Amino acid sequence: MVLNAPEGVSITSPQAVRMASGSASVGIISQQNTDISALKRFTVAAGEAVSMLARKAGMKLFAAKGKVEIQAQDDALEAIAKKDVTVTSTEGRIEITAAKDIVLKNLDGSFIQITGKNIILGCEGNVLWKCANAQKMGTANYTSSVPEFPGGYSEYFVAHDEKTGQLAPNTRYRITTSKGDVFSGITDSDGNTAEIFTALSDKIKVELG
């Protein structure tokens, strides 16, 4: 089915509006702006990867309230910039913790390495101390802990006809979590739903039709 209107198309409903593709893709394309707004939560989940690219005007991520968390739960985390990188805390402190080493270095080879119970300073030039006094005192340590990542949960479901027990391919489904998150779509040719992901173990409700 092809839907076309030279003056625009509007789809509205006082209830839910859903778009689903059982075995292919869903594409949203515009020559100008694409706006997505939600009065409560906006959730994006992908079984493989999520990518974002801004070609010209940069990218912004703001949280007016609440903290911002970024986690790489099973691999490395990289932040790279062609120019300056600035990290600022306007009212608190900046704490960097590593299970092994912390290394500060530049391309000329100078470095500060915090490893085990030692701190190593290295350079081919001078180490300059600009201070009123320098005191050598006894040993000390700072106790730190490394946060544990949540394991995360994922699952998909196989739909069956309630009366016959046969697989239910190409059937609409609706999965609702205890928090009210809704995942909907159409089962594939084998009756499988899409895989859903949650950070914690949760009770869910699955509806067909």
Q: Model confidence over 42-65: pLDDT tens digits?
A: 888 777 889 999 999 999 999 999
Q: b or e along 160-194 (b: 16 or more beta carbons within 10 Å of the residue's beta carbon)?
A: eeeeeeeebeebbbbbeeeeeeebbbbbbeebbbb
How far apart (Å, rounded) are the C-alpha atoms in residues 88 and 10? 44
Q: Are 113 and 119 in contact (CB under 8 A)?
A: yes
pLDDT value of residue 77: 93
H or E element in which residue 172 lies: strand 172-177
Q: Are strands 153-155 and 196-198 parallel, antiparallel or unpaired?
A: antiparallel
- Percentage of the chain surpassing pLDDT 70? 97
Of the candidates 125, 100, 124, 127, the one whose C-alpha atom is nearest the C-alpha of residue 114 is 100
Nearest alpha carbon to residue 177 among 204, 207, 208, 206: 204
pLDDT band at 89 (very low <50, low <70, confident <90, very high): very high
SS3 80: coil
Taking the domains of the chain in order of start, what are their residue ranges? 153-208
Interatomic CA distance for residues 173 and 160, integer angstroms: 11
145 near 154, Cβ under 8 Å? no
Q: How far apart are CA 121 and CA 58, in angstroms?
A: 37
- Type and span of the H or E element at 197: strand 196-198
pLDDT at 151: 65
Return the structure tokens found at 128.
């300059």
Alpha helix stretches (DSSP H) within 34-159: none
pLDDT in tens, 139-180: 888 887 777 776 667 788 999 988 888 898 889 998 998 888
Q: Assess whether pLDDT exceeds 90 at residue 182.
A: no
pTM here? 0.61
Q: Which residue type occupies 163?
A: K
